[in-house]
Every structure is written in C-alpha cells, then in structure tokens.
Chain A
C-alpha cells in the first residue's frame, strides 16, 4: 500500500517529508541525507546562494537529489524585504515557489504574523506559490487562506529546539479546519514527533536541525522517512479512538432486553 500523494499547487509529492539544507557539516552529507530521506522538496536560504557566481556550491550539491527547490526568505524582517527576496529568488532559481520566513527577532527566530500576512497577500497577487512559516495560530491560518496562501506551515516548537510538538492543541484545530495543506515546520526533534504530526493529520512535515546535527545525519534521514510514512499510513488507516472507559466483552446491561 502506498500513502496518498500530497498535492500542492500543480505539483504532486509522494514523500510528505520536506527538508531544510542548513546546518550540515558538509554538502556531501547534505546531499546523501536528502536522498536517504526520500524527500522531494528541500528549502534553502536565498542569502546562502551566490547568484553572482556561475557555479554555486549549494545548488550544485542539490542537483543529484532531484528535489524541487524551495527558496526561503530567511533574513527578512519585514514584508517589503521578503517580497524583494522572493522576486530575487524567482529570478535566480527560476521558480515561483517561495517559503516565506519573516522573523524580526533573531534570538528565537519567531515569525512576525502581521508582516507575514501582508507579504502573503502581495506575493499571491504576484503569482507566487506561497508557503508561510507561522505560529500555530488557527485564526492566522484562515486569514492566510483568504490571502491566497498555498499551504500553512505552523511551528511545532521554536525553530532548532528539537522540542517536538509543543503546540499540539493548536495544530489540531488548524488541521481540523484547514482548506490548504498543513505542513508542520520547526521544532520536530525525532522521527516519533514527525510520526505524531502525521497521525494527527498534518499533510507534511519539514525537518532540518534534527537531521543535520544528528550523530549520523544520513541514518537519521532514513529514520525520519520511515516515521513520516508510518504516521501517514496510520492516519489513512484510521486510528482508534482513545478513551479510558472500559469495554466489557459481554454487555453488563443485556439482561434488560431479554
């Protein structure tokens, strides 16, 4: 049995695991990890790409992965900067897909919801496929839908912390009422966190630190691949309800109907 594919805009993804390309100790390890993860979409910071040089190391290293490249606006502090960065990325990478990251706070890299909403409106009008990184805020998700976002990417925990799904109650609400795919981004620290997100009905997860900084990134990428597949399969199979009420095998009250 195969998991149902995920469709975002005009693309179909067999894998529901997206990867970040930062923090790897070397580019070969990054390439091998992406391949091992089976991921079909990876994100890279526009600021890391040297568009002046004809041979950018990072882009060269990503070629063998055959992954769809998703540039991000990491570094932007305002909607205006993010829109400019998206336009630059479109030119440099010939893609209208953009992962929107606007964090004016460099300490926790928390996203600015107001600037993100403005930038999504603007970018959607300009024809971009917008994937905004946001707080797990159900109302903001609905506002982004209205603004024309392609997906929503709520965080599970502060980025880079490996803390897992700390926002679980809000993720559940977001998933239950979303009309666009929900990609849980940031904070996923272990394959079990990724599986949990998928079991809850998230459409995909994005992982970076937990793989890049693992003792063996390639093996960790494999483990995440399996975690995501298992979680999604469980979701599609239909998980049993969780409850504390005892279910006696012979009904205790059946005598009433005899």
Chain B
C-alpha cells in the first residue's frame, strides 16, 4: 500500500528547520498574495519572520473562515471511556508508569455519562481512551458506539491506532470522525517520549491516517502535541501530512487541533514553550494555506485565548470538558489525562460565542449519512 511514509522520508527535519530560518519578509508577502497556496507558502507563514505580518494574517484568517464556514462554531464535548493504558508516554497522565487506579466505563456508566452530556445540550461527542487493546479494543468501541448512537447525532473517536478493517467496522457502526495525533514528526526523538508500548512504533502511527482514509471514514483529525519539539518544524510536517491525505482520500474532511502540553499527573515539563502569539500565528498559517480545513480549539486553552479565537479561524470548540472516565457523573475523581484550562459551562461558552456575533451550533450532522 502506498502511504505517507514514502512521502515523509523525502524530507529531513534539519533541512526544514534551516529553511524556516531563511524565510524573508518579502517571501511571506509574496505567499500571502498568491491565489493558490502550496505547502511552501505554509512554510513561509510559519516562519519566525512572518510574525511581523500577524495582524494582516489575522484579518485574512477571519475573512476566509467566515466565507467558508460562516459565523458559526460547532460545539462538542469529549467522553472519556477509559484511562487504562499499556503505553508509557512521558507527557500523559494515563501513562502506564503512573501507579494510579484505572477505570473503564461499564455499559450502564456509559449511558449515565451520555445522559448528562445530552442534558448539557451536547449532540456531537468525542469518545476518548488510552491504549489497552485487550480490555478496551475494537469490541469495546463497537459496543460503546452502539449504546451511544441513540444519544448523539455525531460520534468521533480518539483512541489507539487500529487496522483498516477495524476502522471499516467503526465506519459501518456509525462513527463519523477519527482523530489520531502523531504527537511529533521528529522520528529520532519520538522514542524518547514513547519508550514503551505499541505507541512507540513511529511508523505504525504515521501510517494510521492512510488506514482511516482507506476505510472511508468521513472525517479525520490530525495534530501534534505542542511543547514536545520545535512547533514550526513539527507543524510543517503535520501540514505536509494533511496535504498528502487530502489529495489521496478526497472524500474525507480534515480537521486539525493544536493541543498545547498541559499539566498532568507525573509528566515532563514542556521542552518548547509556545506563546499565545505563536499559537495564533500557527492557526492563521493553517487557515490562509487551507481554506476548508476544520480547526478545533479545546479546553486546554485559556479563557482569553478561547474568547478571541472564536472569530479568528476556529470552526469547532469543546466545552465543559472532563478528561477522566466518569468525569461528568459516575466517578468524578478518577485519573484525568490532563488538567483543562477553560472550565466554563456549556451555557457560558454558548453565550461567549453569541456575544462574539457567532452562532453556536449543537447539531450539524445526521445519523442518516453514516454507514454506507
């Protein structure tokens, strides 16, 4: 099977890093004016020197996003299924070496959590788990989707990488989107962050979006964990990945998110600090390069940043999130993946969106479009 790996191997981390340093202001200006923007233009928008054009980039971002997505923000919430995990990841609260009691939701607990989310008005849900293939594998997910389908119009899933056949099963069961983050494209240091478990296999993870595309999943979400390695270089590779996928699997929609490393139980400090200004530049770079990319901003980000990003490129936001299994009702004190930053309620977030002149959208999908 042809995959992104063949494509990825043509690029070197250090070459991209050097290229970013060499970008001039006139390169950025030329790229901003181009009609059809390429991955090379994206690199220019990411460059340190492009920060000088941030105000203009923000204006373009607002205009392009409104044209394509209107003045709307899709709202969703995560539902953590389990914090069991066989991986050691140095930045994650669910890491195997965290000697803390683990929890996987039972059928009844799943439905209790779903009822609470539904009462908050949530209609698009994101199912999340650690990686524990024996207890929380494909059978568990299929059962969860079957139980949750009556509650939600749209189900996304963010779990361990699966096989193409398993993605096909999820697609047939009614899963709309699959999210899988490479965390970092820096192959040499990937192993240091993921010393143990199935996740330590860089290439298996790298080729996951190809398997998702082959299975015909409607939408896929990509991203890197900001704070591990140089965000500029990593984001270039992430965009390269999206660029490849979009041409290869043209029937899928694509979404990108920008998780910044947040405090969690027993984890490392960020290797690279990314400021709000940097993050805005990154969001603008994505939008100006790719007008139809969905951009999701989670509760990892602080209130001020989230209030302002509504009109600056975001198309989807989570709200009132709990990042632990049972966090909404059944086991509020279980181990969480990370501390959220924006803890406002769904109603508060809806009001903030309205105040910004945008329409908070709770439902923008129907199960009728799934599974064919």
Partner among A24, A77, A80 whose Cβ is within 8 Å of the Cβ of B359: A24
User: For chain B residues 320-360, which have a beta carbon within 8 Å of chain A?
Assistant: 354, 357-359
Encoded as 1 (CB less than 8 Å from any B CB) or 0, chain A from 71 to 103 comes to 000011110110011001000000000000000
Q: Are A24 and B251 in contact (CB under 8 A)?
A: no
Cβ A213 vs Cβ B369 within 8 A: no
> Are A50's CB and B253's CB within 8 A?
no
Closest to A78 in B: B372
Q: A80 touching B372 by the CB < 8 A rule?
A: yes
Is A85 in contact with B369, judged by CB distance below 8 angstroms? yes
Nearest Cβ distance between residue B319 and chain A, in whole angstroms?
17
Closest to B293 in A: A107
Interface residue? A209 (CB, 8 A): yes
Is B208 on the interface with A (CB-CB < 8 A)? no
* Chain B residues whose CB sits within 8 angstroms of the CB of A81 once the complex forms: 368-369, 372
A41 to chain B, nearest CB (A): 20
Looking at the complex, which one of B67, B252, B354, B366 makes contact with A26 (CB distance below 8 Å)?
A: B354
Which listed residue, B72, B123, B357, touches A50 by the CB 8 Å rule? B123
Q: Does B368 lie within 8 Å of A26, measured CB to CB?
A: no
Known contacts A22-B70, A107-B246; A50/B363 CB under 8 A: yes
B residues within 8 A CB of A46? 366, 368
Collect the chain B residues with CB atoms within 8 Å of residue A45's CB: 364
The answer to whether A209 and B359 have CB atoms under 8 Å apart is no
Which of chain A's residues 1-56 have a Cβ closer than 8 Å to chain B?
22-27, 45-50
Could you tell me if A107 and B292 are in contact, using CB atoms closer than 8 angstroms?
yes
Q: Are B366 and A47 interface neighbours, CB within 8 A?
A: yes
Please give, as numbers and ranges, the residues of chain A lying within 8 Å of B246 by CB-CB distance: 107
Q: Cα distance A231–B15 when bound, in Å?
A: 57
Tally inter-chain residue pairs, CB-CB below 8 A.
80
State how many angstroms separate the Cβ of B74 from the closest Cβ of chain A: 11
Within 8 A of B (CB), among A170-198: none
**Is the CB of A113 closer than 8 A to any CB of chain B?**
no
Within 8 A of B (CB), among A209-227: 209, 212-213
Give the total of A residues in contact with B, Cβ under 8 Å: 31
Asked if B71 is an interface residue, CB under 8 A from chain A, the answer is: yes
A213-B67 in contact given A26-B354, A26-B359, A107-B250 (Cβ < 8 Å): yes
* B366, A85: Cβ atoms closer than 8 Å: yes
Closest to B358 in A: A25
Report if A106 contacts B (CB, 8 A). yes
| Interface majority SS (helix, strand, loop, mixed), chain A | loop
A88 to B250 Cα, complex, angstroms:
27
Mostly, the B contact residues are: loop
Would you call B67 and A84 a contact (CB within 8 A)?
A: no
| B359 adjacent to A27 (CB under 8 Å) | yes
Q: How far is the CA of A26 from the CA of B70 in the complex (A)?
A: 10
Q: Are B70 and A23 in contact (CB under 8 A)?
A: yes
The listed residue (A49, A104, A107) touching B363 by CB distance below 8 A is: A49
Is B307 in the interface zone, CB < 8 Å from A? no
Among A25, A48, A78, residue most surrounded by chain B Cβ atoms (within 10 Å): A25
Chain A residues near B204 (CB-CB < 8 A): none
Contact B363 A106 (CB under 8 A): no
Q: Are B71's CB and A213's CB within 8 A?
A: yes
Given A49-B363, A50-B362, A106-B253, A25 and B368 contact (CB-CB distance below 8 Å) = no
Cα separation A90 to B153 with both chains bound (whole Å) = 18
Residues 238-280 of B contacting A (Cβ, < 8 Å): 246, 250-253
Cβ of B173 under 8 Å from chain A = no
Interface members, chain B 60-75 (any A CB < 8 Å) = 66-72
CB of B67 to closest CB in A, whole Å:
6
* Measured CA separation A23–B68 after assembly (Å): 8
B7 in the interface (beta carbon within 8 A): no
Give every chain B residue within 8 A of A104 (Cβ-Cβ).
251
Q: What residues of chain B lie closer than 8 Å to A80, measured between beta carbons?
A: 372
A88 with B252: CB separation less than 8 A: no
Q: Are B251 and A106 in contact (CB under 8 A)?
A: yes
Which B residues are CB-close (under 8 A) to A22? Answer: 70, 72
- For the complex, give the distance between the alpha carbons of A75 and B366 in Å: 8
Q: Which residues of A contact B292 (CB under 8 A)?
A: 106-107
Partner of B369, one of A25, A27, A75: A75
Cβ contact within 8 Å between B71 and A88: no
- Closest Cβ of chain A to B156, distance in Å, is 15
Question: Within 8 Å CB of A26, what residues of B?
Answer: 71, 354, 357-359
Task: Select the residue from B251, B252, B363 with max chain A CB neighbours within 10 A.
Answer: B363
User: Nearest B residue to A107 by beta-carbon distance?
Assistant: B292
Asked if B70 and A47 make an inter-chain contact with CB atoms under 8 angstroms apart, the answer reads no
User: Can you name 11 extra interface pairs (CB under 8 A) apart from A24-B72, A50-B153, A76-B369?
Assistant: A23-B66, A25-B71, A25-B357, A25-B359, A46-B368, A47-B364, A47-B366, A75-B365, A78-B372, A104-B251, A105-B250
**Pairs A–B under 8 Å by Cβ, sample size 17:** A23-B71, A25-B72, A25-B357, A25-B359, A26-B354, A26-B359, A46-B366, A47-B369, A48-B361, A48-B363, A50-B123, A75-B365, A106-B251, A107-B292, A209-B70, A212-B70, A212-B71
3 interchain residue pairs of minimum CB distance: A23-B70, A25-B71, A106-B253
